[in-house]
Structure 1
């Protein structure tokens, strides 16, 4: 049996689909369904039981032996401002599951984030020593909450404290794909650009407020959610060394590239407008991210990742252009 938190969310529901495709249905899922329609992400899925977030700790106290825990539940809003709520969800909840997996000898996969790298001046190497992690400076509350849990884990390892038998902190980069409809302002640019393009409008991208980047030339590591799910299943089933791992494509691409890929998938000529960077993002915006995938490759993962053009085309043509936002 596998425990999957955040199961109705974007990556969580896609990973549940990947588990089902692999013939795995003995899954206990945990999430807060709320009123955003997240339940639709679960309509086609098979699972054993559903546990509300507030009841999970009590459920774990009498739970059967678990094959693994995949912890994706979090407040992932990069503009979140309630520090107490974010700390409770992103640090406290993760620590509770870390301690449970340590006590019971259960493998743990947990979601970290590329937001932990801050502006990228320190690079994007997924080293997990306390010394290296101390050099990173996240730009927002969300990134900081993920970062301090990574640092707590690194200290436990360095000081020889007990840990789960296998553990993986997954640093997700810019993931896109189906089942993100409920995410409001956190939806991917692929979703947003497709919506405006299908209405005959120009894509609206942030103008650059730095002289070393042209408008639309800001770079991100965009990665298709199917690739993420394949890596996660490989980690869950395999024997890779424990540690932090980058989960990205390994190649930075511009926002212009992404928008043009959407228009190409729709068979339309590109039309792009640039709007000023919001004040709330100035000084907190990552201008360049690119996952260093060396560590994952050395651990034995050798599958290729989907190109931006192919991944966008699959998402747009197979889902968004058909009015189907859910897998």
Structure 2
């Protein structure tokens, strides 16, 4: 049996579908569904039970044997200013779930984030430049630090994956927190220009397709290693390049340059790129979807979904 927290969310639902493609349907989905639209991410998915987030820690002992927990549930709103809520959701709950898994010796693979890194102009390695610019990044780093403290005593694998800019099917419910590809698709569908922030030629991020994130998760699920690893492509591309790729899919749609909101500017990472040295040392050889191919396939998938 496998537990996926945040299982109706973006990456969690892709993990559920990915497990199904491997012939696994002995899956327990954990989520809150306060945003009811997330249930659409699980259309066609096979799983045996559902638990609310507030139920799973008390219930997990009775569900054994559990083969692994993929902990993807989190508040991912990078502009959230309620630090107490962010820490309770991303740190305290994660800590309590982790310790229950350690007690039961259940492998624990969780979502960290490249938001733990601050500013810089070189690829980020796991132990460097850990100076988050917002409370979301701080909540993720706090949990990573806790994991580092207990890792030597853990009798079962614990893996943290620092996701870079993930895009792909299953993020419609994320609204303003969805990838630029998703937001531009909605702008084009509404007959509006595609928006890019002023300076996007110089803002470069490591964009990774969600299918690759699933592959990296499964890599560690199969190998039972422990540690904190970056999960990015190792290549930084500008938002201007990404916007141009999206516009190309719409026959050269117009792009409008807009000002960045002042409240976002102080906590905005203008550069991210994954140093994949540790990931490569773990034996990962899955490769990554090229941005050109990922954008094309994603927009095709969204167009197909709209026609259904």
Q: Would you call these one fold, judging by a TM-score over 0.5?
A: yes
Shift of residue 298, structure 1, vs aligned partner: 1.3
TM-score of the superposed pair, with normalisation by structure 1: 0.90
Of 161, 169, 185, 2:176 maps to 185
Q: Cα distance, 1:270 vs. partner?
A: 4.8
Does residue 140 (structure 1) correspond to residue 134 (structure 2)? The answer is yes
* Residues 175-254 of structure 1 aligned to structure 2 (within 5 Å): 175-208=166-199, 215-239=200-224, 241-254=225-238
- Does the CA-based 8 Å contact 1:259-1:270 persist in structure 2? no
- Alignment deviations for residues 162-188 of structure 1 (CA, whole Å, 9 cap, x no partner): 225211101000000111111111111
| Map of 2:110 onto structure 1 | 110
Kept after mapping to 1: 8 A contact 2:119/2:270: yes
Deviation at 1:121, TM superposition (A): 6.2
Secondary structure in 2 matching 1:274? strand
Single out whichever of 197-206 and 291-300 deviates more from structure 2: 197-206
Match of 1:263 in 2: 247
Counterparts of 2:240 and 2:146, CA distance in 1? 38
In 1: Cα distance, 2:307 partner to 2:232 partner: 22
Partner residue in 2 for 1:295: 278
Q: Does 1:68 align with 2:51?
A: no
- What is the match of residue 257 of structure 2? 274
Contact 2:61 2:104 survives alignment (8 Å): no
Contact 1:252 1:290 in 2 (8 A): yes
Verify the 8 A CA contact 1:98 1:164 in the aligned structure 2: no
Structure 2: which 5+ residue stretches go unaligned? none
2-side partners of 1:325 and 1:170: how far apart? Answer: 35
Moved over 6 A (4+): none
- How far has the Cα of 1:252 moved from its partner? 0.3
Query: 1:36, CA displacement in angstroms?
Result: 4.0
Deviations 1:125-156 (A, max 9, x none): 023xxxx5xx5210001100000111111122
- Give the conservation status (yes or no) of the 8 Å contact 1:112–1:146: yes
Query: What TM-score results when the alignment is normalised by the length of structure 2?
Result: 0.95
Match of 1:152 in 2: 146
SS at match of 1:46: coil
Shift of 1:197: 3.0
Residues 289-327 of structure 1: CA distance to partner in whole angstroms, max 9, x if unpaired?
00111111111111210010000000001x22234499x
How many angstroms does 1:123 deviate by? 5.0
Answer yes or no: is the 8 Å Cα contact 2:184–2:194 preserved in 1. yes
Q: Note the alpha carbon deviations across 1:249-303, whole angstroms, 9 max, x for none.
A: 110001111111112223x125322111111112110001001111111111112
